Structure 1
Amino acid sequence: MAVLKAFKAIRPRKDIASKVAELPYDVMSSEEAREIAKNNVYSFLHVDKAEIDLDKNINPYDKKVYEKANENLNKMIDNNILVQDQKNNFYIYRLTRNGKSQTGIVGCTSIDDYIKNKIKKHEYTRKDKEQDRINHVDICDANTGPIFLTYKYNEKINNIINMWTEKEPVYDFTAADGVRHEVWVIDGDETIKNICDLFKNIDSLYIADGHHRAASAVKVGIKRRKENPNYSGYEEFNFFLSVLFPHSDLNIIDYNRVVKDLNGLSVEEYIVKVSEKFNVDVYEGEGAYKPSYKGTYGMYLNGKWYKLAAKKGTYNSDDPVDKLDVSILQNNLLAPILGIDDPRTNDRISFVGGIRGLGELEKRVEKEDMGVAFSMYPTTLEELMNIADAGKVMPPKSTWFEPKLRSGLFIHKLR
């Protein structure tokens, strides 16, 4: 049973929604955010990365940054850039990239469902990143960025979405990266109740993206409960902003790896060692090698692309984590040969989202003096859900979801 709650969204005026909406705070640096928002007073980066409005030398985790975020959020509300709806609604959010759409319901999910593992995780979180968003949510008194959740396809929910998306959207714009964003408001009380009832029949929700935002929202909710010992459980701080997509709509793309050097090996020595666990063939095709099926990898080394295929015995078939392609590469090559024992902390490895293309891997090796790059076959959504159901976690940088949800289209106040 999953709890989904309607809410009074704070959201942009229709005429400026495209100017407000921005990519999530964690996919860009402070410098990039300053450049993006420098001529746009409407940009939600003034809230999500408020250090851009302070001295360039300020620590982005300074309390003044969170206080500036709160000030900017309230200013956007006071200036009628953001307006709060008068009643509790659900919303439909559709993103379309390269002709493929994903359509989700925007609402608030329960911190208790997260605590009880009805909202399932597949990644570890870092305390420093959690603390950043705890401070942001607590001081802004709001969830400013949605958590990206998924659920197993439900035909009745899909029928409701199809019915409401026949109406004219309240927002419809295409961002600079070519992604089209459409939003509809579900304001019918009977439909809202029906959606709530349908989600009660869904056993589990899965975090696709936003583990740190989710963990932080929950910890702020727990903090507020301690501050309000007579809480009823219905207060807004008991819930956090989410967008829920059916798993059939989602697309995971490759998350590739680049390693700085060959760990003291010559090219010849390195290939001999790799050949113990992988079949290694020079790629004779044009351009870069993009793996087309599980268990294969591209490797860019010394100006050439190679095709790697994992040999039998490189993973434990009973462990859903061990048989991930990212695990096979980590356990049989990155750790034992290249010395990348902990990819979370080792500064010799970098991760490159597939959205950048495989040319980025060649560039890193050729122009940035890296040693070797690997192109990956994407993790599947079924693998993600199986691992979450087993109560396990994936290795770092196992999934990259595109397109990214925009921040600023929906804000959830905690009171």
Structure 2
Amino acid sequence: MAIIKPFKAIRPAKDKVAFVASKSYQEYSRKELNAILAFNPFSFLHIINPGYRRAKNLKGQERYKLVHQIYLEFLSKNVLLKDAQDCFYVYQIQKDNYIYCGLLCGASIAEYQNDVIKKHEATLQRREELFANYLKTVEFNAEPVLMTYKDNAAIAEVIKKEKLKEPQYDFTTRDSVSHKLWVISDPATKIKIESEFQKTDALYIADGHHRSASSNLYSKIAQSSNPNHTGKEPYNYFMSFLIPESEIKIYEFNRKIKDLNGLTKEEFLTQLALTYRIEITEENLFKPKQKHQFSMYLEGDFYSLTLLENNYSLNDALRTLDTQILYKTILEPILNIKDLRKDKRIVYGYGKNNISIMKEEIDKGKFKVGFSMMPINISEIKAIADAGLVMPPKSTYIEPKLRSGITIYEL
């Protein structure tokens, strides 16, 4: 069963939420970041980028302590307020006429450890330790982990009824994305939500593997240093956004390679022909039409590569993934790209125009060859997680992307 709990969120004052909410720090260019920090004193970016005020590039504990200090300043000035009681929060994001709606809550660390909360990506120990140390110092978490669950009619009905009420927040960000938030404080409704999730066999992490792993590590550290540990402390949970699996959107990353590993075009195509049926397409921007088919752009032509399944074994959930097939049949054996995270010869692209961008960059000589594929679907993600397997890096780009600072979970 899936154990979740309501929590007392720290939230922006209603008249300031549109100014506080921010995208992930990494999504801004330096120019955008400086402009926001210069002209918006309420942005959550002031908290997570505290060196701006001092014109210093702060690192490590010095930065973490100042993050905590500025967070307390936002509280003292009533930019941020703490809810008086534990609540669930219905959060809706509308982007490009597509609506994502789910529940903000605390998810159980124990169930993360017991694999009720399932993972499909590997994490790096260094990053886990870095963020756990960050959590220990700043004492809050402002970025929910995106998780999905099997569609549940009872949960959907609860959310539907809440959405008939006036939202606590209703604002639109500069990128034309609409945000609404409803606060669920009614005791009976909270019990109903908890009981329905207890009937759920598993939750699946869609985005936020390092955040959840770091919360797990921090929980272990906090528990070991607390002689009066009861299991009810905030560190026994981490803030999550739960969304029905039918509502998430999964996009693909393409792969752009800087060279052919010393091969000529003809030699490269000859090696490909051992595993693929190769056809030059007439389409200006060819996109794959089915699983196990790839789009390849090379020297001004788009090719369709269709896997010859007699030459490749599809015998487990991982080997059937197109990202793994591409890796095991082309990137590793032919192009000698073994480490998909660190090899500087490979670059990843995503977004609705990623095929045209890939073509343009190859035509300009930035890359030699590019590959695109069909997006991975939720059933494939669940199969990987259920089998305890790990996807290749950059297998999925998943939406919704959540704003920081709309709800904050204190540790």
Normalized against structure 1, the TM-score is what?
Answer: 0.94
The CA deviation string for residues 290-324 of structure 1, in whole angstroms up to 9 with x for no partner, is: 22321111112212222221111354323101110
Q: How far does residue 13 in structure 1 lie from its aligned partner after superposition?
A: 1.4
Alignment-derived partner of residue 41 in structure 1: 41
Q: Deviations over 1:39-75 (max 9, x none)?
A: 222221223344545546x36x522221221122111
**In structure 1, how many angstroms separate the alpha carbons of the residues matched to 2:27 and 2:104?**
21
Per-residue Cα deviation, 1:73-117 (whole angstroms, up to 9, x for no partner): 111111111111111100001112222212111000111111111
Aligned length: 411
SS at match of 2:295: strand
Q: Which residue matches 1:298? A: 295
Where does residue 23 of structure 1 map in the other structure? 23
Distance 1:372 1:223, change over 3 A: same
Alignment partners' CA distance in 2, 1:54 and 1:270? 54
Write the distance in 2 (CA, Å) between the matches of 1:112 and 1:10: 24
SS at match of 2:92: strand
Secondary structure at the aligned position of 1:313 is classed as helix
Within the candidate set 250, 274, 277, 2:275 is matched to 277
Give the one of 218, 221, 226 matched to 2:219: 221
| Cα separation, 2, equivalents of 1:27 and 1:117 | 31
2:356 pairs with one of 349, 356, 359:
359
Cα distance change, pair 348–26 in 1 and its aligned pair in 2 (3 A):
same
Matched with 2:239 is 241
Q: CA separation in 2, counterparts of 1:182 and 1:215? A: 28
Map 1:95-134 onto structure 2 (within 5 A).
Answer: 95-134=93-132
Given that 2:297 and 2:370 are in contact with CA atoms closer than 8 Å, whether structure 1 keeps it comes out as yes
- What amino acid does structure 1 have at the position aligned with 2:345? R
Percent of residue pairs identical: 37
Question: Which residue of 150, 156, 159 corresponds with 1:158?
Answer: 156
The amino acid that maps onto 2:320 is K
Deviation at 1:8, TM superposition (A): 0.6
SS of the equivalent of 1:15 reads coil
Q: Structure 1 residues 52, 318: CA separation in 2 closer, same or farther (over 3 Å shift)?
A: farther
Give me the whole-angstrom Cα distance separating, in 1, the residues matched to 2:230 and 2:244. 31
Aligned partner of 1:71 among 63, 69, 90: 69
Q: Structure 2: how far apart are the matches of 1:315 and 1:121?
A: 26
Q: What amino acid sits opposite 2:254 in the alignment? A: N
Whichever residue aligns with residue 175 of structure 1, its letter is T
Give the aligned residue type for 2:89: Y
> Where do 4+ consecutive residues of structure 1 move more than 6 Å?
none
Amino acid at match of 1:10: I
Find the counterpart in structure 2 of residue 394 from structure 1: 391
The alignment status of 1:141 with 2:106, answered yes or no, reads no
Cα deviation for residue 154 of structure 1 reads 0.8
Check 1:229–1:174 CA distance in 2 against 1; reply closer, same or farther (3 A cut). Answer: same
Q: CA deviation at 1:409?
A: 0.4
Verify the 8 A CA contact 2:144 2:240 in the aligned structure 1.
yes
**Which SS does the other structure have where 1:183 is aligned?**
strand
Point out where structure 1 has 5 or more consecutive residues left out of the alignment: none
RMSD across aligned positions (CA): 1.8
Structure-2 separation of matches of 1:35 and 1:352: 26
Counterpart selection for 1:317 from 314, 317, 322 = 314
Go from structure 1 to structure 2 and tell me whether the alpha carbon gap of 1:43 and 1:368 turns closer, same or farther (over 3 Å shift): farther
1:203 corresponds to which letter in structure 2?
D
